[in-house]
Amino acid sequence: MAAENKKQDKREAILNAAENLFAKHGYDGVTLRAIAKEAGVDVALANYHFGPKRDLFDAVLLRRAQILNSWRLEALEATVQKAAPNPPDVKDIIRAYFEPLFKRSQVQEPGWKSYYALIAYVNSSPEWGGTLMTQFFDPMIHRFLAVLKTALPGVPDKSVYWGYHCLSGALTLAFAQTGRIDHLSNDLCKSDDLPDACDYIVDFVAAGFSDMIAASEKETATL
């Protein structure tokens, strides 16, 4: 048992080191040797556990993606059940999407900060965004969009998808925690204050989707 625990500890050390370095330097700026050095293991051990660098990169993304997906699906399904038999309110759906990411205690942990920065990098990358985000997050997002459509009667699907695109952009920039808003606001806003960011983003995004409903109703009334 002790040997198995030691093996698991080294495996986690490699994942943690890779997560930190990939978040700081991107995929191309990191070598397996650098990851092994930071993890305090031989490079052969990193290769033994994960194979080539691309497989390790995927393992880093998958580790916390599974946790995030389960948190958000749990919050979303609770929102659906609470509103049944009616569709949930748009704002409640948006809240279920964001709050598990921004209002749980993990947001202050260094590992999660690195992971959020890594997701921001992947989601905004032409090379990775269309493949890895699809692979790790699309099943959960499709469920979210399906519930969102029930709360947006009459709104064209095209509008819903562009609305989600804007939502995803806000999420990505918040994940990056670049400090840009700190400078713009003279520190009135802090990019690492994700719980505060959550409230403003939820209100803003929900208002945008609600405006789509009003526009759809207005168009219907003129027909």
Greater pLDDT, 110 or 129: 110
**Mean pLDDT confidence for 187-215:** 92
Could you read off the pLDDT of 65-117 as tens digits, one per residue?
999 999 999 999 999 999 999 999 999 999 999 999 999 888 889 999 999 99
The C-alpha torsion from 112 through 70 and 145 to 174, rounded to 10°, is -10
Cα(7)–Cα(13) distance, integer angstroms: 10
Cα(90)–Cα(145) distance, integer angstroms: 11
Q: What is the pLDDT of residue 132?
A: 81
For residue 129, give the nearest of 61, 76, 208 by alpha carbon: 61
Q: Are 91 and 206 in contact (CB under 8 A)?
A: yes
Q: What is the pLDDT of residue 40?
A: 93
Q: Are 91 and 152 in contact (CB under 8 A)?
A: no
CB count within 10 Å of CB 57 equals 20
Q: What is the pLDDT of residue 33?
A: 94
Q: Which tokens hold the place of 42?
A: 């031989």
Handedness of CA 70, 76, 80, 83 (dihedral sign): positive
Q: Map tokens 């499709």 to a residue.
A: 142
For residue 56, give the nearest of 91, 16, 1, 105 by alpha carbon: 16
Q: What is the pLDDT of residue 1?
A: 57
Using the CB atoms, write b or e for 196-215: b if 16+ within 10 Å: ebbeebbeebbebbbebbee
H or E element that contains 81: helix 53-83
pLDDT band at residue 41 using 50, 70 and 90 as cut-offs: very high
Helices then strands, counting H and E runs in the chain, come out as: 10, 0
**Mean pLDDT confidence for 148-172:** 94
> Residue 5: which residues within 8 A CB-CB, separation 6 or more?
none
Cα(98)–Cα(89) distance, integer angstroms: 15
pTM (global) more than 0.75:
yes
Q: What is the pLDDT of residue 125?
A: 82
List, in order of start, the domains of the chain with CATH numbers.
1-51 (1.10.10.60), 62-222 (1.10.357.10)
